[in-house]
Amino acid sequence: MSTLKFQPTQDQLNQLLWCADINPDDLASLVTHIAELSNPPLLPEGLSEEFKKYLKENEAKPLLKELLSFHMLMLRSESKPVEITRAIRDSFGKDDDREKWDTIATHFQSLLSSTPIRLVTKAMDLSYDYANLIQNAKILTDLRPLFDVEGTEVEGGVVTHTLRILYYSDDGSHELTLAMDFLDIKRLLRQCERSITKAETIHDRFVHDMKKPCLISGKTESTDG
Amino acid sequence: MVSLTLDPKKIFCQTIKREDESLSSQNRQGQSQTKFWYTITKNYTKHLQPLLNFPQQIFEVQRANELRGKRVEATDSTNMSANHEDDFKIYSKTFNELSHPNIDGLSCFIEEVKDKVKSRDHWTQVFAYTDFSTMPVYASILALAATAGEESLSARKVFAGQCRTALRERGISETILDSLSGVHTNESSSHPLSVVHMIACLEERKATDGYLEAALHFEQLHDTRSALACVYRNVRYRLRDNQLSELDNELKRFDVSRAGINIMLAVLTSTAPLKSKLTNRRRLFREFKAYLKKSGQLEKGLLDDLK
């Protein structure tokens, strides 16, 4: 097995040590519960609720974050869970900290390789696995005045719209500016509303037919309505 | 519409900035607050939340097999980790020296590993840091057998759960582990090493001594599928490796009265191709037929082509 090494910051190490303070028996119960989840959620918040059934809130959230983070690392580095826990251990400088980590390493490894963690991480990854990803978009509306020949009087005006899109790709951030007229704005609005409807249609159909969970990228309970 | 960045470099700069903010808010006792600095501006439900932990990923330094020509900065942690690498391989190295997974061999293995792994803390490390995925499943069950009596060890409880999952994925009944998990039922009276031996009979790529006994144990646990697999697999290996004398001796020692119909039919069916060369097979057939007649289970055609 090749040797994976990390160089986390002190704050990251503190986060991991905070997780290592969790009662191992509570973690063992959580491991069993997570392994037996029949309908694992696809969003971190859903999984957080499952974690809170066995851990306190200030334990569940940091642990889940570390698990999702390291699972992502595990996928991208094509590592095994045991390599991750070993590398975490090696990143601690003190023997006391390593021994502390040892007490939950098996539990961490088991959770790291569990299906619910894998599904949430994969869902997050697939939601945004594209060459270009939108960061922000706004429509600027301005007025272009029409002047007379001498340029001393305003005789009229034209309202124009500019769609400005900020997006990221592999080579960094980019901006795209597109001129739009009133009809373009209306057409875009209809397309956006239609997309929301299509997403809900296919989501409901999938859940009904496949009896499996389905995630609409970016949508959570708080974004409903 | 707001999206979170996928750009690792930008995330890294953001992380450093947030970390400085976090460090500046340390309390008077010098303990760093558990600040969720990577969620300060974003609520937890936002997508790409886990990717904000990118700094932990971009700090991945090296892999040992990619170090060709690269200068490695030696640190204390590197040297210490090399020593721990050896410690963490104790179990796997000892397992690789196991010559044969019969009961005697397994017993010797347990003695040897207990001599090397002496404390609960050390066993916790074995469960956490040994790469059991490179070994057969029975190596994991062997670790449970070696720590029978340490059922309260939390890491062992989790490890036992992983073993159950592994068995389930292979279609082997999980009840086989009850005797190793401190759960006592009428069916879980198996000795821990016989449990390991039973699973070894299903995994080894050559015939394992005592496989017929293992098949009987599987049948007693109502795991007919594993019992039949045990018989067919090991007889096939005997025939493949031309171990006819060993096979004949096994048939000689086999007690028909202990076996159910399924096992008996499996033994006779799997040995049928070379029945003329197995002198004890005829006796076995006669005994089985007599048993079926006596118990009223001899159906017409049941033993056709098996004589």
Using DSSP, state whether B132 is helix, strand or coil: helix
Partner residue opposite A45 with nearest CB, options B6, B37, B44: B44
Chain A residues with beta carbon closer than 8 angstroms to that of B119? none
Number of helical (H) and strand (E) elements in chain A, helices listed first: 8, 3
Q: Please list, residue by residue across B224-243, b when 16 or more beta carbons sit within 10 angstroms of its beta carbon and e when fewer do.
A: bebbbbbbebbbebbbeeeb
Note whether A197 contacts B: Cβ–Cβ < 8 A. no
Read off the pLDDT of each residue in A163-185 and give the average, rounded to a whole number: 90
The whole-angstrom separation of Cα B300 and Cα A111 is 54
The whole-angstrom separation of Cα B147 and Cα B156 is 8
Measured in angstroms, the CA of B123 and the nearest CA of chain A are apart by: 10
Which residues, listed in sequence order, are joined to residue A202 by a DSSP beta bridge? none
Rg (CA), chain A: 25
Note whether A17 contacts B: Cβ–Cβ < 8 A. no
Read off the pLDDT of each residue in B87-98 and give the average, rounded to a whole number: 86
Note whether B80 contacts A: Cβ–Cβ < 8 A. yes
Number of helical (H) and strand (E) elements in chain B, helices listed first: 14, 0
Answer whether residue B187 shows pLDDT above 50: no
Q: Supply the mean pLDDT for chain B.
A: 76
Q: Please list, residue by residue across A121-135, b when 16 or more beta carbons sit within 10 angstroms of its beta carbon and e when fewer do.
A: bebbbebbeeeebeb
Read off the pLDDT of each residue in A140-149 and give the average, rounded to a whole number: 95
CA nearest to B219, candidates B170, B175, B185? B175
Read off the pLDDT of each residue in B191-220 and give the average, rounded to a whole number: 91
Answer whether residue A185 shows pLDDT above 90: yes
Structure tokens at B289: 């037929």
Confidence of residue A188 (pLDDT cuts 50, 70, 90): very high
B157 contacts A72? CB cut-off 8 A: no
Structure tokens at B77: 């942690």
The whole-angstrom separation of Cα A30 and Cα B124 is 18
- Among A5-14, A108-117, A151-160, B138-147, the minimum mean pLDDT is found in A5-14
- Among A6-10, A120-124, A126-130, B11-15, the minimum mean pLDDT is found in B11-15
Read off the pLDDT of each residue in B169-193 and give the average, rounded to a whole number: 70
Is this complex's ipTM strictly greater than 0.85?
Answer: no
pLDDT at position B176: 84
Say what the pTM is.
Answer: 0.71
Note whether B75 contacts A: Cβ–Cβ < 8 A. no
Quick one: which H or E segment has residue A144?
strand A132-147
The whole-angstrom separation of Cα A43 and Cα A46 is 5
Structure tokens at A145: 């005045």
The whole-angstrom separation of Cα B158 and Cα B152 is 11
Place of tokens 């990390």: A6
For A:85-144, CB contacts with B below 8 A are 85-86, 89-91, 93, 99, 102-103, 105-107, 109-110, 121, 124, 127-128, 133-137
The whole-angstrom separation of Cα A180 and Cα A182 is 7
The whole-angstrom separation of Cα B54 and Cα A68 is 11
Render pLDDT for A37-70 as a digit per residue (tens, 0 to 9): 888 888 888 899 999 999 998 999 999 999 998 9
Helix %, strand %, coil % of chain A (to 5): 55, 20, 25
The whole-angstrom separation of Cα B251 and Cα B191 is 24
Answer whether residue B11 shows pLDDT above 80: no
Would you tell me how many other CB atoms lie within 10 Å of the CB of residue B81?
Answer: 19
For B:282-301, CB contacts with A below 8 A are none
Confidence of residue B78 (pLDDT cuts 50, 70, 90): very low
Say if CB B286 and CB B278 are below 8 A apart: no
Measured in angstroms, the CA of B167 and the nearest CA of chain A are apart by: 14
